[in-house]
Chains A and B, each alone.
Chain A
């Protein structure tokens, strides 16, 4: 049980360290105009602010994450045995990701599913960037105000139709009795229906479709603030269109690109709906495996360990994007 109590101590220690540092610095500088937090906000409001933010950052963010991390280093036990002598720290759950504990062989199924999820998510991210960039550029720079407003309105409506129903709508199109197969057979291109869901086409289209707008909005916001004169100047100096984009627009839109790519990658790697409703019976998406550990195998520690592996992959991707585009986290998330 001690390791679980430690979770509660760590954030308190961090806060205490910062508080002591702040106190020391305050003691060193003698600035009479400086006001304390409670002086500036009033005691009651100050307490309310701190209470709300402490509840959020500690109980809704930091502690659950740390607690999940600790849980992933424990064995799977029945509730009665938790906290007993068998409840020791172990890396068995992480090891099981690489080596299947029952047979001792490499855990190829899960390793493959993980690699597949990451690679496909990267491809989907690149694809969505390619699809969204021209529209975002057109809306931000080329279109008239009236037109842009109309396009924006048209983008917002499908955005609020939830993920499940959007997956459902694609399934109606791609199913063996769906409209696309009807059309293909009607024209005579194929004799029998093509199994779009079984061969993972449905999954790819579903992922791309679900997170298309997540890419459009940050790109639009980034390109919109670019001064039109810069593009004009480049054009007057004789730059061809692709050079304008490569050397003027894209460097300027870097924070937006980083933001859109990060979000699309994170959402598709963590997607549940698309693989569940648009995948075939043999589709192995990493989140589906995590889901099954919770709802079918009831192996929470192993599920937590797998969730943590996914989280590590997402953090690595964010860092990579920030490094690649040389932007800070603050510029990316706005």
Chain B
């Protein structure tokens, strides 16, 4: 029994170390956001201040970057989720000999370093959009190129998420609807899409978050514009200021809130499902055992 006890203690200690490694740096950084010295330090803690949050709010480049990040994020969602959906549907129906090739092409951006995706996007679109004065003037923009570059791999993530759910779709539902006289578009809008809704939502969330925090691809594709992350990178390169810590505190706070809300929603859903199955079991039992006459 003692060896079991020792084992348990060791596992506990290991998990403690793992999370210390994971959270330690973030915790120290968070403390520096509330400390007064201009060089971000946690110890000694001189006095509490919110000055760095004010500095952050007044940082014009960062606010402009934040706006661009939002636009790019929404653009990536608008492009990647429909593309992922279409690719998942085509993956099921494509000519079987071409499927391997199609799969390879669609997942290759996931396995390519983001730097290379960024570089190839810029090299390609510079020549394509630079071909005419009009497209060069109106479309050769950092925001558009970033949406293109990020979508190339984000769409692959969306495809994988949507495909996983599509594999559980029962084709009999589609057949039934067609037999009852539904048209093909009706089947798509009223049966397939509602079935895929959870996957579409999580694909959209992941697409937005991935786009928002991307650095490697964006730093090339953004050209002369800026996003929040590229502004951050510039700031970190120049030096260190507690305003960056303040930004991190805000991001950690938002992700924490998001994670907790997600957990609560999931728990509610499970409880509702449990209640439903309980009710079904009672109903079933009353059918099997005939009521006393």
A residues in contact (CB < 8 Å) with B = 4, 14, 18-19, 21-22, 25, 37, 39-42, 44-45, 48-50, 52-53, 55-57, 59-65, 67-68, 71, 131, 134-135, 138, 142, 149, 151, 153-158, 160-173, 175, 177, 179, 182, 209, 212, 262, 266-267, 269-273, 276-277, 287, 290-291, 294, 300, 303-304, 307-308, 310-311, 314-315, 318, 329-330, 333-334
List residues of chain A with CB within 8 A of the CB of B41: 172, 177, 179
Contact B255 A157 (CB under 8 A): yes
Contact A307 B119 (CB under 8 A): yes
Contact B115 A287 (CB under 8 A): yes
Q: Is B184 an interface residue (CB 8 A)?
A: yes
B residues in contact (CB < 8 Å) with A = 11, 14-15, 18-19, 21-26, 28-29, 32, 39-43, 82-83, 86-87, 89-90, 93, 95, 97-98, 101-117, 119-121, 123-125, 127, 148-149, 151-152, 155, 160, 164, 183-185, 188, 209, 212-213, 215-216, 219-220, 229, 232-233, 236-237, 240, 244-245, 247-248, 251-252, 255-256, 258-260, 263
Q: Pick the contact of A158: B23, B115, B124 (CB < 8 A).
A: B23
List residues of chain B with CB within 8 A of the CB of A314: 111-113
B145 to chain A, nearest CB (A): 11
Main secondary structure of the interface of A (DSSP, over half): helix
List residues of chain A with CB within 8 A of the CB of B155: 56, 60
A230 to chain B, nearest CB (A): 20
List residues of chain B with CB within 8 A of the CB of A304: 119-120, 123
Q: Write 20 A-B pairs (CB below 8 A) sorted by A numbering.
A: A22-B97, A37-B93, A39-B184, A45-B185, A49-B89, A50-B90, A55-B83, A59-B148, A60-B121, A138-B15, A156-B255, A158-B26, A160-B251, A166-B26, A172-B28, A172-B240, A273-B215, A273-B216, A304-B119, A333-B111
Q: Bound state CA distance, A150 and B125, in angstroms?
A: 45
Main secondary structure of the interface of B (DSSP, over half): helix
A10 to chain B, nearest CB (A): 13
Contact A40 B93 (CB under 8 A): yes
Best-buried of B115, B244, B260 by chain A (most CB within 10 Å): B115
A21-B95, A333-B160 as given contacts; A165 in contact with B251, CB under 8 Å: yes
B232 to chain A, nearest CB (A): 5
A157-B252, A212-B22 as given contacts; A57 in contact with B106, CB under 8 Å: yes
Contact B25 A169 (CB under 8 A): yes
Contact B112 A311 (CB under 8 A): yes
B81 to chain A, nearest CB (A): 10
Contact B120 A65 (CB under 8 A): yes
A309 to chain B, nearest CB (A): 10
Q: Bound state CA distance, A162 and B120, in angstroms?
A: 23
Contact A49 B256 (CB under 8 A): no
